[in-house]
Structure 1
Amino acid sequence: MRVWICTMMLCASAALAEPATMIERFDAGAGERWRYIGDNVMGGVSSGQAQIGADGLHLTGQVSTDNNGGFIQVRREFEDGLNADVWALVLKVRGNGERYTVFLRTRQARLPWHNYKASFVAGSAWSEVRLELSAFERSTSVLPAIVSPEDVKSIGLAAYGADYEADLWVGRVGVE
């Protein structure tokens, strides 16, 4: 019995540990690294904003699929890609119980809608979300079947694809 309890405690503490490599802690300079993008760039009518505070990045707004829209997003660019040994993104998130999407754009993306995506649900309590790169789905067969980490040009965090109110907090972004 004692062994089982200790094993469970080790598992719980490992789940709360920071990822091996931190990409973003949302410190004072994070506002220069992340930019807000809404679907109005393509004629959509969603509205939102992103703010960075003591708890991290806060993406809020109203997502509307009217007029062929359906997203609000924050994005960070990476000039040199991610390290070749990266196998997962690790996010610390909380929200309003809605589904949110992570978009990865790579060097092979030729059109704005070429990307890889994976989704998660952000509940009301802070939690860690681990998204393995092998689980990201490509938007087109023009892209390689699997994301190559060194080819990642940007990471986008989005409220996407349905009519709903977005309320997403991201406390950190890391990789393993």
Structure 2
Amino acid sequence: MRAKFVGLVSSLYIIGSTMAQADEKLAEDFSKSPETRWDYVADTVMGGVSSGQVQFSSEGNVAFARLTGTVSTENNGGFIQFRRKLPDRPDEGVSGVRLLVRGNGEQYFVHLRTRGTVLPWQYYQAEFPTSEEWTKISLPLSGFKASGAMLRAIPVADEITTVGVVA
């Protein structure tokens, strides 16, 4: 199976102790050399054949990351992503992630890695939809699912080390 993806992310927030709380910490607005903070990764690191790229640009006052490519499940593959190591771990009161997104109608994912996700295939995942309009997406930590039985059921905020946007 092959699928083409085009997704845009304009901002990424780490949000406070309740999803409605205004206590948000802007983790990324994709300005000021985001290419120095974000890495592109594809399933080719595991023998897959997906291809793509992340580009950083702006339209008017809005800076964003554009993830484009073709995802293939051949050779046990199936992803493209851009990912950032967090310079500081979030506070223990953090309850989720908020993004401003626009895309081609496909489903995308946020992957969180923690101090407990030691193996390359371990992560916590939450899915979100996209549309042609900029949409604010809120993903509570309780909605992230562990990629395997060896991980805790829900990620612990102050142990999060990386965040990635995945197609």
- When normalised by structure 2's length, the TM-score is 0.82
Cross-structure match for 1:73: 81
Structure with higher strand content: 2
Where in structure 1 do 4 or more consecutive aligned residues deviate above 6 Å?
Answer: none
Greater Rg by CA: 1
TM-score by length of 1: 0.77
Matches of 1:57 and 1:19 in 2, distance apart?
24
User: Which protein, 1 or 2, shows the higher relative CO under an 8 Å CA cutoff with sep ≥ 6?
Assistant: 1
Question: 2:100 aligns to what?
Answer: 92
Report SS of the residue matched to 2:88.
coil
1:132 maps to which residue? 140
1:37 aligned onto 2:41: yes
Specify every segment of 5 or more residues in structure 2 that has no aligned partner in the other structure, as ranges.
1-21
Shift, 1:110, TM fit? 1.9
* 1:12-59 Cα distance to aligned partner (Å, 9 max, x none): xxxxxx872100000022111100001111111111000011130000
**Within-5 A mapping of 1:79-118:** 79-118=87-126
- Give the drift of 1:109: 1.0
Indicate the residue corresponding to 2:31 in structure 1. Answer: 27
Give the Cα–Cα distance (whole angstroms) in 1 for the partners of residues 80 and 71 of structure 2.
7
Secondary structure at 2:69's aligned position in 1? strand
- Alignment root-mean-square deviation, CA: 1.3
The residue number in structure 2 matching 1:53 is 57
Could you say if the C-alpha distance between residues 153 and 34 of structure 1 is closer, same or farther in structure 2, counting changes exceeding 3 Å?
same
Aligned residues: 142
The letter of the residue matching 2:25 is T
Unaligned runs of 5+ residues in structure 1 are 1-17, 160-176
Shift of 1:85: 1.1
CA contact (8 A) 1:19 1:90 kept: no
1:80/1:150 contact within 8 Å kept = no
Aligned partner of 2:159: which letter? D
Equivalent residue, structure 2, for 1:142: 150
